[in-house]
Structure formats: structure tokens, C-alpha cells
Amino acid sequence: MRELAGRLTALDPDAGAAVQVIAYFDRLAESRAGLEALVRGAAVLAGVPARLADTERRVRVRVEADGVRRDSDVPPDAAWPCAALAPGGAPALWLERAEAAPSVVDAVILERAAGAVRLVLDRTRGRAPADDPALVETVLDPTAPEPARLHAARGLGLDVTAPARALALRDGRPRIVPADAEPPVGRLGVGPAVPVLDLPGSWAAARTALRFTAEGTARDPGPRVVRAEELGAVALLSELVAPGAEPPPDVRALESAAASTPWLLATLYAVASTASLRAAAAEINVHHSTLQDRLAHAEHLLGWPLRTPQGRLRLHLALTMRHLARP
């Protein structure tokens, strides 16, 4: 193979390089190299970062051109050369080269690397099944025997040696995803990343985080996605305010004021969640003087100041407890 590559290089440098690429990935496949090694090979050979993202089997690997793994949450650029892992499938392997068209060598790298990656995934992970409610329930059940929970996790396509996290969706369905997976779009609470056997705790934290979410509208302002690890001591409020119970007085004051003032909740949320009043005005796209007028009116309706540190803290707590008091 080396002799053939040398001869081809003398005639056509691209053809010689392509043969070398084929030989390189053949050697990796024969040695049963893992996913990271294959992506690293593609990056080093291409001289640009390479990334693998197979959402169906919950795999994501990105390696820089220097061979160092650095995963990224930035979506792939549609202009990058890419390849699918199966005919007709969605792109799953990219070379981060922003050029009009891939070179012959890039095309060979992608084709050989994708084939090798597909073999590894078929051998080690198979195809990730849809979230089976019974399996998810077993994994999240702290009273289930550990072997049963590990068996259920494998049935869900999870790597039991890697951390995962539980998700609490608004419709009540639990989900489990690898720690580095992107959460689904929608309103949900995200539990902390933990070992598989600790997922019941992540699920409890995700359900608590869900109570702090909002629709993100003018009538229900707030974040649609809340991560449990970002709540800190604020999570303790969930133990003080029971869902569906009589809301605290400050929450009742908010609801009463909002009933007659459509702009109130969105304005107060901007004040509570930004660093300054000018930032709050920019957030809701009003002039600074308009915001001052609104706050004066809101202070009259609520009965406490909103432009002092203590008043803003009280406002923030009231808005948070408003979410927690909902049924």
C-alpha cells in the first residue's frame, strides 16, 4: 500500500494522499479503535477540527486539528464538508473547513471515517431505542435493585460508565439523557449530571427545577428551562411554597396588580432579572423614563419600593414564589 501511495503521489498528489487516508483508517479499523480515535484521525489528516454528532445514538465528539478533544455546543455550519453514517441519513460527521467545496482528500477522509465510525457504533451501541417508559421508570426508581437499574439503563442505550441527567417535562414525562446531550426544546427542568445509579436524585432535582419554569410570555414571564444546579439555595423555596396552596401575600399582590395592568409582570420580571434599570428598559424595549413611570405605578399597586436592593429582592422572591404556588 505504501509503495502504491508513493507511485500515485508522483502522478497525482491527491490520489496518493487518498490512498494513504484509506490505509490509515483501515489500520484503525483493524485495531478496533474507538470513536474518539477515529474522529482524531479525521481531524489530524484534514488539518482542521472534526466532529461527530449522532443524536439517535447520543454520541458527540469533537477533536481539534492538533488532536486535542474539545467538544462544543455550537451547531455545525451548513457550509462544512460532511458525511452521513448511513446512506440517506442526516449528516453526522463534519470537517470544520469553511470552503465552497470539499477537496478530494476531504471527501475520502469523511467517507472512510464515517464507515469506521458506523462499524464501531453498530458494534458497541447498536441503535438507541425510543425512551421506554418502563425502562425509564426502573432507572429512576431508588428502590429498584442496582442490577435492574443498570440493565434498564443499557436498554435505553445509555453508557452506564458515563454521567447522565434526568429531565422533567411539563407533561410529566421523565426523560434520561447523557450529560453532554442537548436538552429537548420546550419547558422543562434539568437535573444535575450524575452517575447512572444516582439518577433518582437527579430526577427529584429536575422536578423541583420544573416548578421554577415559566411559559416565557408577557402573562407568565420567566425561563422555560431551569437547571437544578443553577438554583442553589433558591431551591429551598420549593419546600416552603406548596403547589396549589394559598399563595403568600406578596404573590397575591402581584396577581391583583397584574389583573388590571397588562404590562406589569413582564416589566417587573425584567427589573428583577437584569443588572440595572437601563438594562431592564432595553430588555422590554421602552425608554428609561417610561420604565421609571411604570415602576412608580407598580410600587403604588404593590405597596413596597422596587428601586432599592431590598425591594428588588422582595420582588424577585415574589415572582419566584408565584411560579411555585401554581398547581
CB 83 within 8 A of CB 114: yes
- In-domain check, residue 289: yes
Same-domain status, 9 and 98: yes
Residue with the bigger pLDDT between 16 and 4: it is 16
Q: Each residue of 86-132: pLDDT tens digit? A: 777 788 899 998 765 667 888 888 888 998 898 888 766 554 444 68
What value does the mean pLDDT of the chain take?
Answer: 87
Q: What is the pLDDT of residue 10?
A: 45
Same-domain status, 149 and 49: no
Strand partners, 165: 177
CA distances for 232 relative to 43, 93, 101, 280, angstroms: 39, 38, 48, 24
Identify the domain boundary among 76, 100, 124.
124
Q: Domain tally for the chain?
A: 3
Same-domain status, 110 and 28: yes
Identify the domain boundary among 124, 152, 171.
124
Same-domain status, 205 and 246: no
Same-domain status, 118 and 176: no
Q: How far is CA 251 from the centre of its chain?
A: 32
Same-domain status, 198 and 248: no
| Domain at 317, CATH number | 1.10.10.2840
Closest CA to 166 of 102, 228, 241, 230: 228
Task: Tell me how far apart the alpha carbons of residues 303 and 93 are, in angstroms, rounded to a whole number.
Answer: 58
Q: What is the pLDDT of residue 158?
A: 84
Same-domain status, 137 and 114: no
- In-domain check, residue 269: yes
CB 45 within 8 A of CB 69: no
Same-domain status, 36 and 115: yes
Same-domain status, 95 and 149: no
Q: What is the pLDDT of residue 16?
A: 61
Helix intervals (H) in the chain:
2-11, 13-30, 35-46, 104-124, 133-140, 146-155, 199-211, 237-240, 249-260, 264-273, 277-283, 288-302, 309-324
Ordered DSSP codes for 159-184: -TTS-EEEEEETTS-EEEEETTSPPP
> In 3-state terms, what secondary structure has residue 195?
coil
Domain that holds residue 55: 2-124
Identify the domain boundary among 71, 92, 124.
124
Same-domain status, 168 and 276: no
Same-domain status, 39 and 116: yes
- In-domain check, residue 221: no
Q: Each residue of 159-216: pLDDT tens digit? A: 888 899 999 998 888 999 888 877 777 899 999 999 999 999 999 999 999 999 999 8
